[in-house]
Amino acid sequence: MKGFLIVNKPAGITSFDAVKKVKTILREKKIGHVGTLDPFAEGVLILALGRYTKLFFLFDDMPKEYIAVGVFGESRDTDDINGNILKVSDKKNILSFSELENIIKKNFYGNIIQKPPIYSAKRINGQRAYNMARENIDFEIKSVNVCVNEIELLEYDYPFFKIKTSVSKGTYIRAIIRDIGEITGNFAYTKELHRTAIGNFTIDKALDLNDISNKNILSFFDMFENIDKKIIENENYIKQIFCGNTKMIENINFKNKYLALTDKENNLIALIEKENINKKNKNIFAFINS
């Protein structure tokens, strides 16, 4: 079995739990997911089945869109509603809508430096940060450069505020909410988090876990219908490609970042990635033999 699923992860379960349920429904052992959603969060979770788990890199550059509700007045160790309260603000710095909007746009748009939450999946010396945090181990998380493509203040009624944002891979919305609290002098944590899109894969295309069946599995070209492709008709060439011999197709030229090689039935054989469009092609193959 191979393919993709776009699911709507409900709040209250982990991304791993969602994958586990789909494995049971489809009776497929090899399933992975793109971009972990926190247990309290809900929304778009893309799953890859079988050998298509080799293709997660195709989603790396896709922006992720979120709608989040923050709460002023407290900081929490997880930066979300499930965490323990660390600090409570001793003052109500109630800003106007325009004041808060200006602060958000000034400090959280474009390339920013962000410190991930200590309760995150970041690896510290080989260990997950959230496991170390739970065990009360002292450690430091390094700040990282991330990109906020869009950010908008949708609603604001102190202490609650709602934002909509589109961000690059590795950006934590919980950290944005936390830092909005720090900058305004109020403290803040994330009450609700909804991922509404990964690239063009939007929430309206997502299936509830209880509605999933084999009929819902999407093919490679269902997901990437605009990708360039070339048909390999020679069966001997196809066998050689699956064995790792790519000499017969090393001189294929293509303009875009990826080229899909297919057989006559439109089955994906391999994916070629152009390392640098301004240099000679360096082909990297992800073989998808079924």
**Can you point out the beta strands (E) in 242-282?**
258-262, 268-274
Q: Which of 194, 189, 231 is nearest to 87 (CA)?
A: 189
CA dihedral 150, 192, 22, 7 (to 10 degrees): -40
**DSSP label of 96:** -
Q: Which of 146, 150, 159, 183 is nearest to 65 (CA)?
A: 150
Q: Is 253 helix (H, G, I), strand (E, B) or coil?
A: coil
d(CA 46, CA 84) in angstroms, rounded, equals 30
Q: Count the neighbouring beta carbons within 10 Å of the beta carbon of residue 65.
A: 21
How far out from the chain centre does Cα 92 lie?
35
Sheet of strand 268-274, all strands in order from the earlier edge strand to the far edge: 228-231, 258-262, 268-274, 283-287
Residues forming the active site = 38
Paired tokens of 180: 């909005």
Can the peptide bond before residue 10 be classed as cis, meaning omega within 30 degrees of 0?
no
Q: 222, exposed or middle or buried, with CB in 10 Å at 0-12, 13-18, 19+?
A: exposed
